[in-house]
Structure 1
């Protein structure tokens, strides 16, 4: 393999790592938004009841 191929491979590995990291963060953010909406709904229900 030439040096250019090694550099391209290194960039590819970093790119895949960043994509996986972004997917994990997006999944966590979606779960957090869902839980926050659920908590807000519960708080609204408590306020209406009390």
Structure 2
């Protein structure tokens, strides 16, 4: 009886493979978006570090000449 039921079920291997491919494509897109955002955040952190290093020691005021030179070199 169980063998008769298994013979009447449709073969959905193609749909399963398609579902896995769609999932894999979505996963690759998601990882790509996250990598792009991470690069952007790293670039912002580097810029913030440059601006923090450009401050004059002791006064807390920015050294505008040094900061402008670094901004133009990037």
TM-score (norm 2): 0.61
Tell which has more relative contact order, 1 or 2 (C-alpha 8 A, sep 6+).
2
Runs ≥4 in structure 1, deviation > 6 angstroms?
Answer: none
| 1:18-33 aligned within 5 A | 18-33=27-42
Give the Cα separation in 2 of the matches to 1:47 and 1:37.
Answer: 18
- 1:44 equivalenced with 2:53 (yes/no): yes
In structure 2, the gaps of 5 or more residues are 1-10, 60-74
Which protein has the bigger helix share?
1
Query: How much does 1:47 deviate?
Result: 4.2
Aligned partners of 2:54, 2:47: CA distance in 1, in Å? 11
CA RMSD of aligned residues (A): 1.6
In terms of Rg, which structure is larger? Answer: 2
Which stretches in structure 1 are left out of the alignment for 5+ residues?
A: none
**C-alpha distance in 2, partners of 1:3/1:49?**
71
- Relative to the length of structure 1, the TM-score reads 0.89
